[in-house]
């Protein structure tokens, strides 16, 4: 039990003789002895009595442990508007209520940093998980013994809160209405609330249903037939508007986020709620697509595309439009004009554009004046949880606290400490405000997709070049890290990794005299074995690469073989015409830079996708693949990933899995860990296997 004889703790001659065989707890501070004895009375006393021992407590012991039977939890209407409520939790001792929240905050503050709530039961030492935790509730030595399971529930809620001092002066904690409503639905051992406003309980039922009170129907003038899952998405958007909440439509690429949103905005106009224009912000390349889709499916809406050098003359008529579509760069350049206009809805397409909280575009987007806010993104988390915070700060400021407190309470414990309990609570918290359907959920609407990773052995000259470059950059990088640290050496690290990736693709990409002497590439050789035969079979091929220089080398090879092709990079002028030409069959091969082709393209004529090189971010790779594998595709799609054996490219695949795990962990419930350490860098720069 942790007790020791007094003679082990104190000098022999300082102990009264008749007490030399007694036991005590060792502690430097008397306060710690109190904690040990409180645990003894809460847990060990019962064990001893079951063994037939008699346990007597001296009246002057000065410590009392109460085992409550009557807990209470009350939610009150807050004084900060309809979106915030106060919460109090405690025990009843006769007619007296003891609010436990301030006591629990003190208890948490006394625990070591990073303690896991899952360890509270001490491994189930007392009756298999029946351990009780004594919590001090007064200065008179009174403790309340709370079952560990119940304490985990309430401390789990406290750990979700963001402030260093979450309890207000009157002993309550502040909860957003969504979280307060969710708490009213907890039952059994997890139950925390027995008194709450009836309106909040009603809202809890509505949050579970995720449907508007009155069933929503697509306007008759809307010229598109919604698939069942798209109808569900449209109704969810109507539910969010009815509840006054913002949300993220996080469907996989190609499942029709645009058509669901247009149906929703059309419904708002038809029902007379949209007496102000709605604003859609999208990447520049996608703005024409929004304009075209809006005119196709909702021709009765007055649509204005704010683009080009003459756009400023249209600002005076913004208020007379139904739908204003513009790009993130225009938002940044014309911030003053856009921020002066009030909107009914603001919709961020490819909303991960505002994932960086320090970027100027993000800061302007947060300031847009709109009644309702909506994010569209198949990848709301590309790299880390801070990106999710940025989107929710745009949607509902305060819902996930401040950035600093969110990082402390959620991001660090989940990403670094793999706190699975917190991950589940975060996923539960955002669930009503984020709708995600994967292609597997609507697979009956899509043909099968086959992914093939093709390993390629470097040619001897490439091996020689790879090792020479690797040795040189590894030495340079490690010297820089030793001098400045890994955080301040990131640019040099990325440049070193870039050089190795270029060698894997084709030595000609590397601007070094020794590299220019190597005229062949194992990956290019395999590619040119494949493509001519694929073209003869009638295959329609998309080829993605991060390097526009690589696309130029592929162009030269295709010309020599007499194979027709189209090329889309960031420098391409008529993006829409290139896509239309490919869809019309004017060329069997479409070369696309990964960045230029990651969003806004519908290329369902393709049945083959080749990723010439892997990219760090699996979400961007998946977006590129989804140019072909999307609704409207009638053919099986084959996706080939070309990876050189034993090189940095194989290691990129491993890092991709970690990033994918972070993304899926919040959206789809998969445990994960994301880190990039010096050890991993050493692995990336290791010699060829």
State the total domains in the chain. 4
Radius of gyration of the chain (CA): 31
**58 & 112 share domain:** no
- Does any domain span residue 623? yes
Q: How many residues does the chain have?
A: 689
**439 & 465 share domain:** no
Residue among 616, 364, 324, 329 nearest 490 (CA): 616
Boundary (domain end) residue, out of 378, 412, 443: 443
Buried b (16+ CB within 10 A) or exposed e, 1-24: eeeeebeeeeeeeebeeeeeeeeb
- Does any domain span residue 297? yes
pTM over 0.85: no
Query: Residue 284 gets which letter from DSSP?
Result: G
pLDDT digit string (tens) for 270-318? Answer: 999 999 999 999 988 788 889 989 999 999 999 999 988 899 999 999 9
Distances (CA, A) of 601 to 286, 547, 604, 605, 606: 8, 19, 9, 12, 12
pLDDT digit string (tens) for 501-510? Answer: 999 999 989 8
- Beta-carbon contacts of 460 under 8 Å, excluding residues fewer than 6 positions away, are none
Judge whether 599 and 350 are in contact, CB under 8 Å: yes
Q: Do strands 4-5 and 23-24 pair parallel, antiparallel, or not at all (unpaired)?
A: antiparallel
Task: Report residue 620 CA to chain centroid gap.
Answer: 15
Range of the domain at 314: 217-443
Q: CA dihedral in degrees (287, 293, 295, 297; nearest 10)?
A: -150
- Does any domain span residue 689? no
**251 & 393 share domain:** yes
- Beta-carbon contacts of 93 under 8 Å, excluding residues fewer than 6 positions away, are 66, 68
Boundary (domain end) residue, out of 23, 45, 62: 62
Judge whether 432 and 206 are in contact, CB under 8 Å: no
The sign of the CA dihedral 663, 669, 670, 671 is: positive
**226 & 198 share domain:** no
Residue among 498, 514, 511 nearest 547 (CA): 498
- Does any domain span residue 580? yes
**383 & 508 share domain:** no
Residue among 309, 312, 258, 261 nearest 286 (CA): 258
CATH number of domain containing 261: 3.40.50.10810
Residue among 219, 65, 248, 234 nearest 140 (CA): 65
**622 & 550 share domain:** yes
Measured between alpha carbons, how far is 342 from 239 in angstroms, rounded to an integer? 22
pLDDT at 675: 44
- What is the residue whose two structure tokens read 């993304």? 663
| Mean of all residue pLDDT scores within the chain | 85
Residues of the chain with pLDDT under 50: 123-128, 669-675
**542 & 662 share domain:** yes
- Does any domain span residue 522? yes
**430 & 506 share domain:** no
- Does any domain span residue 97? yes
**427 & 489 share domain:** no
Q: What is the DSSP string of 51-94?
A: TT------GGG--EEE----EEEEEEE-SS-TTEEEEEEEEEET
């Amino acid at each position: 039990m942790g007790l020791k004889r007094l003679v082990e703790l104190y000098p022999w001659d300082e102990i009264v003789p008749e007490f030399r065989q007694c036991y005590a707890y060792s502690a430097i501070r008397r306060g710690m002895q109190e904690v040990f004895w409180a645990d003894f009375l809460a847990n060990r006393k019962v064990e001893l009595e079951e063994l037939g021992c008699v346990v007597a407590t001296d009246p002057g012991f000065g410590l009392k442990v109460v085992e409550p039977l009557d807990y209470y939890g009350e939610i009150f209407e807050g004084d900060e508007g309809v979106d915030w409520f106060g919460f109090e939790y405690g025990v009843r001792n006769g007619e007296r209520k003891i609010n436990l929240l301030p006591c629990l905050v003190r208890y948490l503050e006394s625990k070591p940093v990073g303690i896991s709530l899952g360890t509270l039961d001490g491994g189930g030492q007392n009756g298999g998980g029946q351990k009780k935790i004594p919590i001090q509730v007064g200065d008179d030595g009174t403790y309340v013994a709370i079952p560990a399971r119940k304490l985990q529930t309430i401390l789990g809620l406290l750990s979700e809160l963001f402030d260093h001092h979450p309890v207000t002066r009157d002993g309550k904690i502040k909860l957003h209405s969504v979280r307060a409503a969710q708490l009213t639905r907890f039952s059994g051992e997890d139950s925390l609330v027995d008194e709450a406003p009836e309106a909040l309980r009603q809202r809890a039922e509505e949050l579970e249903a995720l449907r508007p009170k009155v069933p929503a129907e697509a306007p008759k003038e809307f010229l598109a037939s919604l698939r069942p899952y798209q109808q569900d998405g449209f109704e969810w958007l109507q539910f969010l508007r009815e509840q006054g909440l913002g949300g993220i439509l996080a469907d996989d690429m190609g499942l029709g986020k645009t058509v669901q949103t247009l149906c929703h905005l059309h419904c708002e106009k038809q029902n007379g709620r949209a007496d102000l224009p709605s604003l859609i912000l999208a990447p520049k390349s996608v703005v024409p697509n929004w304009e075209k889709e809006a005119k196709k499916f909702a021709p009765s809406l007055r649509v204005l595309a704010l683009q080009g050098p003459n756009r400023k003359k249209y600002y005076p008529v913004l208020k007379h439009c139904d739908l204003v579509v513009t790009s993130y760069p225009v938002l940044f350049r014309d911030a003053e004009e856009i921020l002066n206009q009030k909107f009914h809805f603001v919709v961020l397409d490819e909303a991960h554009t505002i994932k960086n909280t320090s970027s100027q575009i993000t800061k302007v987007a947060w300031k847009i004046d709109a009644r309702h806010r909506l994010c569209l993104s198949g990848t709301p988390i590309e790299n880390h949880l801070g990106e999710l915070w940025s989107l929710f700060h745009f949607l509902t400021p305060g819902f996930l606290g401040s950035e600093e407190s969110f990082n402390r309470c959620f991001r660090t414990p989940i990403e670094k400490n793999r706190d699975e309990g917190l991950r589940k609570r975060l996923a539960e918290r955002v669930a009503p405000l984020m709708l995600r359907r994967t292609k597997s959920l609507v697979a009956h609407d899509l043909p099968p997709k086959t992914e093939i990773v093709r390993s390629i052995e470097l040619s001897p000259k490439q091996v020689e070049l790879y090792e020479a470059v690797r040795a040189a950059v590894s030495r340079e990088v490690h010297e820089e890290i030793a001098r400045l640290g890994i955080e301040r050496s990131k640019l040099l690290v990325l440049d070193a990794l870039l050089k190795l990736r270029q060698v894997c693709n084709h030595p000609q990409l590397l601007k070094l005299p020794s590299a220019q002497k190597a005229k062949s590439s194992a990956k290019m050789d395999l590619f040119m074995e494949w493509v001519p035969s694929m073209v003869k079979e009638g295959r329609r091929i998309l080829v993605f690469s991060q390097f526009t220089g690589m696309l130029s080398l592929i162009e030269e090879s295709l010309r020599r073989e007499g194979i027709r092709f189209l090329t889309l990079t960031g420098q391409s002028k008529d993006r829409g015409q290139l896509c239309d030409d490919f869809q019309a069959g004017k060329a069997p091969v479409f070369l696309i830079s990964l960045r230029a082709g990651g969003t806004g393209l519908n290329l369902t004529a393709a049945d083959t996708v080749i990723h010439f090189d892997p990219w760090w971010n699996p979400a961007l790779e998946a977006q590129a693949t989804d140019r072909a594998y999307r609704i409207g595709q009638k053919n099986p799609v084959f996706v080939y990933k070309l990876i050189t054996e034993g090189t940095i490219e194989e290691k990129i695949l491993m890092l991709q899995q970690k990033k994918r795990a972070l993304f899926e962990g919040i959206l789809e419930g998969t445990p994960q860990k994301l880190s990039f350490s010096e050890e991993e860098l050493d692995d990336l720069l290791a010699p060829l296997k």
